[in-house]
């Protein structure tokens, strides 16, 4: 308590702090409160939710406003309705000994006239979501021309959600001389630029290091085939009977689908996403808070309203596009001194995303194996045993015991235990007993690739033209202006080749090769009729092997007209070149040729008309997912 006093807080606040049972200030409070109390300054604070940041700006704002006046003096903008209500409640508790204090929440989805009425009574502090706030200002229901303090809470989230314009509009109705306090979990470029736009020489404080996740969170990933994602999720849930988690999906549709599947499979799950009404969201949130729901499947935007501590696991059912989003997701666990685990279920093609997350959060992921069926059975049995051990005896059971004892009197204690546990064991055993291992062994992922959303192309140059997989890949990367992972499954045959690109680059390939020559020869590139398949495993790592005759089973060009070429080997356009004697795979002279050497480049520097910019190359603006 004296620690709070030392920060300079007044008696009314100290009393509330005692009531709430806060013992020591959190790090962000320790750093922010003295600055904000002593100076009229702008402030940028990097702090995640759960660090006590509401009080870090709330205490100083409450202490600085004049409760005797009914003028609106403080505005707090927050991204979601849930957060808005949460902040309002916190502010009310902090200020409960301040007579005459009126904190009003303004958010969409509720009656605007009720909110206007509350404002009319005189709100010294307004906590608002940007959309509704802008609306009410434009209808002259709210006057913020005299505010002295403005908080932009979870600024990164607000910008992510596309509120930049609304914020600008709102702030244009506020006085220049106010103090602006910006709180954000991360500091992407957009937040830095908003700080520049709206603030004057802000002081900066950081809790923990920039862009890194909580110290209390460990990060794990499980490598499976994309089709086994749901199975992996189920097994992880079964292997953690006490799980209390948020499961993140990328789209509203997937969120709903996964939740429905989980419910159907008997899990206590729920969904929260933008297609649900506010009422539905409130109900599901209440169930989650009271732990009727153990697994909350959520989109990123909807999850921002989840203000629940003690989440044991964050599960990234699908990885987000932005690393920042991963930081937010994983920040839902490991709060309030608890340990948390952030799990990512990855398919083979996503492992490189893990690497970029590791760089950003400056933490290593642990590669874990999805537990086997038998491991799950064991976990469940031990869970049951511990539950039994910890269960308090309900005395009301006495009345039923004679009948129970009578029906079981022929069994020994050992038999009873076996029978009792068999009830649970059989349930899991029957399901998992023949369950296959769904782990993709680490190290193999580089050789695999998800074929969904991938297009395979045929190209009429091959080993006869002195290409091997590596040199051809280099050529393709260069002329298409794509990254090393964007061109894959490069399969070089005798007189032709195949390669894959993601669907999004399909048009680029078609347009670049519409008119393209190598050494005066027209290069013909066509979409392979076999679709997105192609070589799986092995080949890429070993380098341009020339085999592939018997590959129709696993290959993506199965049934395509080029198979004839594959068999015949010489019919592709009658181009005759020298054939390498060693099959081409490791001929270093060849490899060097297109490995960026000027010689290699000159070879295809001929005509290249109609080249368009690679799609998806630019970062562009952030998209709102739901």
Interface residues toward ligand AMP, by CB under 6 A: 22, 25-26, 29, 49-55, 90
- Evaluate the CA torsion angle 229, 231, 236, 237 in order and state its sign: positive
| Residue 88, burial from CB neighbour count under 10 angstroms (0-12, 13-18, 19+) | buried
Orientation of helix 229-239 relative to helix 373-390, angle to 10°: 30
| Three-class secondary structure of residue 560 per DSSP | coil
Distance of CA 372 to the CA centre of its chain: 26
- Evaluate the CA torsion angle 534, 540, 544, 547 in order and state its sign: negative
Nearer to ligand AMP, 331 or 584 (CB): 331
- Decide: 467 and 461 in contact? Cβ < 8 Å: yes
Least Å distance between CB 311 and ligand AMP? Answer: 13
N-terminal to C-terminal alpha carbon distance within the chain = 43
Nearer to ligand AMP, 36 or 142 (CB): 36
Nearer to ligand AMP, 32 or 55 (CB): 55
Nearer to ligand AMP, 32 or 351 (CB): 32
Nearer to ligand AMP, 90 or 478 (CB): 90
Nearer to ligand AMP, 82 or 494 (CB): 82
CA neighbor of 297 nearest in space, from 245, 335, 347: 245
Least Å distance between CB 17 and ligand AMP? Answer: 8
Least Å distance between CB 337 and ligand AMP? Answer: 9
Nearer to ligand AMP, 56 or 259 (CB): 56
Nearer to ligand AMP, 16 or 354 (CB): 16
Least Å distance between CB 3 and ligand AMP? Answer: 9
* CA–CA gap between residue 316 and residue 341 (Å, rounded): 11
b/e map 530-559, b = 16+ CB within 10 Å: bbbbbbbeebbeeebbbebeebbeebbbee
Least Å distance between CB 428 and ligand AMP? Answer: 37
Nearer to ligand AMP, 54 or 73 (CB): 54
Nearer to ligand AMP, 22 or 221 (CB): 22
Nearer to ligand AMP, 91 or 237 (CB): 91
Least Å distance between CB 214 and ligand AMP? Answer: 12
Least Å distance between CB 56 and ligand AMP? Answer: 7
Least Å distance between CB 12 and ligand AMP? Answer: 17
Nearer to ligand AMP, 50 or 600 (CB): 50
- Decide: 133 and 165 in contact? Cβ < 8 Å: no
| Three-class secondary structure of residue 588 per DSSP | helix
Nearer to ligand AMP, 35 or 367 (CB): 35
> 158 to each of 47, 155, 163, 280, how far by Cα in Å?
15, 5, 5, 23
* CA–CA gap between residue 13 and residue 5 (Å, rounded): 9
* CA–CA gap between residue 424 and residue 274 (Å, rounded): 37
Least Å distance between CB 51 and ligand AMP? Answer: 5
Q: CB atoms < 10 A from the CB of 1, how many?
A: 11
Least Å distance between CB 592 and ligand AMP? Answer: 57
Least Å distance between CB 254 and ligand AMP? Answer: 28
Ordered DSSP codes for 38-101:
H----EEEE--TTSSHHHHHHHHHHHHS-TT--S--EEEE-SSHHHHHHHHHHHHHHTTTSTT-
- Decide: 511 and 612 in contact? Cβ < 8 Å: yes
Least Å distance between CB 53 and ligand AMP? Answer: 5
* CA–CA gap between residue 600 and residue 621 (Å, rounded): 37
- Decide: 332 and 311 in contact? Cβ < 8 Å: yes
* CA–CA gap between residue 119 and residue 102 (Å, rounded): 9
Supply the DSSP symbol for 395.
G
Supply the DSSP symbol for 489.
E
Nearer to ligand AMP, 17 or 295 (CB): 17
Least Å distance between CB 29 and ligand AMP? Answer: 6
The runs of H, that is alpha helices, within 130-228 are: 130-138, 155-160, 164-171, 189-198
* CA–CA gap between residue 223 and residue 316 (Å, rounded): 12
Least Å distance between CB 46 and ligand AMP? Answer: 13
- Evaluate the CA torsion angle 219, 224, 230, 235 in order and state its sign: negative
């Amino acid at each position: 308590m004296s620690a709070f006093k030392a920060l300079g807080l007044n008696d009314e606040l100290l009393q509330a702090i005692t009531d709430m049972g806060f013992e020591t200030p959190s790090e962000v409070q320790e750093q922010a409160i003295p600055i904000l109390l002593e100076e009229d300054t702008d402030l940028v604070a990097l702090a995640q939710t759960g660090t006590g940041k509401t009080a870090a700006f709330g205490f100083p704002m409450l202490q600085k406003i004049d409760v005797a006046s009914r003028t609106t003096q403080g505005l707090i903008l927050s991204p979601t309705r849930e957060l808005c209500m949460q902040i309002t409640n916190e502010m009310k508790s902090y200020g409960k000994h301040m007579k005459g204090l009126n904190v009003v929440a303004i958010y969409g989805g509720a009656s605007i006239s009720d909110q206007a009425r509350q404002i009319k009574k005189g709100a010294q502090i307004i906590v608002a979501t940007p959309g509704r706030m802008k609306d009410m200002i434009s209808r002259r229901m709210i006057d913020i021309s005299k505010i002295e303090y403005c908080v932009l809470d979870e600024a990164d989230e607000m910008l992510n959600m596309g509120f930049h314009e609304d914020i600008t509009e709102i702030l244009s109705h506020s006085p220049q001389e106010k103090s602006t306090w910006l709180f954000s979990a991360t500091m992407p470029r957009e937040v830095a630029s908003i700080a520049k736009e709206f603030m004057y020489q802000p002081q900066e404080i950081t809790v923990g290091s920039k862009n890194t996740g909580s110290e209390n969170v460990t990060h794990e990933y499980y490598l499976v085939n994309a089709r086994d994602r749901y199975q992996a999720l189920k097994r992880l849930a079964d292997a953690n009977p006490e799980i209390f988690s948020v499961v993140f999906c990328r789209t509203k549709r997937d969120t709903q689908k996964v939740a429905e599947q989980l419910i159907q499979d008997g899990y206590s799950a729920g969904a929260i996403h933008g297609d649900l009404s506010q009422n539905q969201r409130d109900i599901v949130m209440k169930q989650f808070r009271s732990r009727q729901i153990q697994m909350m499947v959520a989109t990123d935007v909807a999850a921002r309203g989840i203000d629940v501590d003690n989440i044991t696991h964050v599960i990234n059912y699908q990885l987000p596009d932005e690393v920042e989003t991963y930081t937010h997701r994983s920040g839902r666990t490991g709060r309030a001194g608890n340990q948390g685990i952030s799990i990512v279920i990855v398919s083979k093609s996503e492992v490189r995303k893990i690497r970029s997350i590791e760089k950003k959060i400056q933490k290593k992921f642990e590669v874990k194996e999805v537990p086997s069926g038998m491991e799950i059975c064991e976990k469940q049995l031990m869970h049951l045993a511990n539950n039994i051990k910890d269960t308090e005896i309900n005395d009301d059971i006495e009345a039923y015991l004679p009948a129970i004892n009578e029906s079981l009197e022929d069994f020994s204690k050992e038999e009873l235990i076996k029978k009792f546990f068999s009830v649970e064991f059989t349930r899991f055993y029957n399901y998992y007993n023949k369950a296959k291992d769904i782990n993709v062994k680490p190290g193999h992922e580089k050789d695999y690739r998800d074929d969904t959303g991938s297009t395979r192309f045929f190209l009429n140059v091959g080993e006869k033209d002195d290409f091997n997989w590596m040199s051809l890949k280099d050529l393709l990367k260069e002329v298409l202006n794509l990254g090393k992972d964007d061109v894959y499954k490069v399969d070089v045959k005798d007189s032709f080749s195949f390669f894959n690109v993601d669907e999004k680059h399909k048009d680029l390939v078609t347009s670049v090769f519409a008119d393209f020559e190598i050494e005066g020869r027209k290069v013909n590139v066509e979409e392979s009729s076999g679709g997105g398949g192609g070589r799986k495993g092995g080949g890429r790592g070993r380098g341009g092997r020339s085999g592939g005759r018997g590959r129709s089973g696993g290959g993506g060009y199965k049934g395509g007209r080029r198979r004839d070429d594959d068999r015949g080997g010489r019919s592709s356009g009658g181009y005759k070149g020298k054939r390498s004697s060693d099959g081409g795979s490791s001929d270093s002279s060849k490899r060097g040729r297109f490995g960026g050497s000027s010689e290699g480049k000159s070879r295809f520097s001929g005509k290249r008309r109609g080249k368009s910019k690679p799609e998806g190359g630019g970062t562009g603006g952030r998209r709102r997912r739901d």
